Amino acid sequence: MLSGDVQLDDSVAIGPHCVLDGTSGPIVLGAGTRLIGNVYLTGPLTMGVNNTIYPFACLGFSPQDLKWDPARPGAGIVIGDGNTFREQVTIHRATSDDAPTRIGNENYFMACSHAGHDCRIASNCIFANGTLLAGFVQIDDRVITGGTAAVHQYVRIGRGTMLSGTFGIVQDLPPWFMLTGFNIAGSINLVGLRRSGASRDDIENVRWVYKTLYRRGLSLQSALGEMRARLERDEQPLIGEYIEFISTSKRGICRGVGKAARGAATAAE
């Protein structure tokens, strides 16, 4: 069923029992997008090309915010290209009239994963079954989560990180680190670094930053001072990325103390 303002490229494929409700705002689907069946979309919602949506996924419903009027459309959701939304994925529109919930390109949302209102998700991420992203979460490129991982409101998850399954996080996780326990960055994502094509220098820089933050007994400000000195001396862009991430963190970064999950790579490897 199509109602309201629904704009479809001629190549969009819509399977049986789908509902596209454009009465609260326009729905725009780009070329090659496929709705397999039993999909429910509400506007405002804009999707790019070659997205695939599996049965019982619901995209664009009002935020789960008791203060929000469900009839208010807000800024909606903007989704890029080549994303896959598996069975029963839910993604909610923004609690803002200006900035939409935003999803980049080539992301894979496995069954029953959820992204709350006002999330900003970059590209090339994989969210395993039951992953829960609360409102206003920011996910950078190439993030991978294990099953039922949970991310608190306003948390930022840095580029190339990995969150082990069943764990939660309430503070920011810096780039290329691994969440190995509740709010614990117990390791670096060595496998992810290698698969991304990172150079030996970049891998060594990640190890050095991890040890400087968590294994040398330094205060956060002292650790940042060490990083700034190294950046000035060596001009390594990755060190600058860590400085920016940590300096702009609003919730603080997660701790590095705790027992790593079995099989997790350590920073010394």
Residue 172 lies in a domain: no
Q: How far apart, in Å, do the first and last CA atoms of the chain sit?
A: 55
| Residue-level pLDDT at 267 | 43
Buried b / exposed e over 29-46, threshold 16 CB at 10 Å, is bbebbbbbebbbbbbbbb
| Residue-level pLDDT at 162 | 98
| Residue-level pLDDT at 264 | 42
| Residue-level pLDDT at 6 | 98
Mind listing the pLDDT tens digit for each residue in 249-262?
Answer: 999 999 997 544 44
What are the structure tokens assigned to 95, written together?
């609690």
The answer, yes or no, to whether residue 266 has pLDDT greater than 90, is no
Domain interval for residue 83: 2-139
Mind listing the pLDDT tens digit for each residue in 145-174?
Answer: 999 999 999 999 999 999 999 999 999 999
| Residue-level pLDDT at 235 | 85
What are the structure tokens assigned to 65, written together?
């915010």
Residue 245 lies in a domain: no
Q: What's the number of domains the chain is made of?
A: 1
Mind listing the pLDDT tens digit for each residue in 181-210?
Answer: 999 999 999 999 999 999 999 999 999 999
Answer whether 180's CB lies under 8 Å from 264's CB.
yes
The answer, yes or no, to whether residue 263 has pLDDT greater than 70, is no
Q: Which of 27, 25, 23 is nearest to 8 (CA)?
A: 27
Residue 94 lies in a domain: yes
Mind listing the pLDDT tens digit for each residue in 34-70?
Answer: 999 999 999 999 999 999 999 999 999 999 999 999 9
Whole-number Å distance between alpha carbons of 188 and 166: 18
Residue 217 lies in a domain: no
* CATH assignment at residue 48: 2.160.10.10
Residue 192 lies in a domain: no
Mind listing the pLDDT tens digit for each residue in 83-106?
Answer: 999 999 999 999 999 999 999 999
Whole-number Å distance between alpha carbons of 188 and 268: 9
Whole-number Å distance between alpha carbons of 263 and 269: 12
Query: Burial of 22 by CB count in 10 Å (0-12 exposed, 13-18 middle, 19+ buried)?
Result: buried
| Residue-level pLDDT at 258 | 56
Residue 209 lies in a domain: no
Mind listing the pLDDT tens digit for each residue in 121-150?
Answer: 999 999 999 999 999 999 999 999 999 999
CA 87 to chain centre: 18
What are the structure tokens assigned to 134, written together?
């609360």
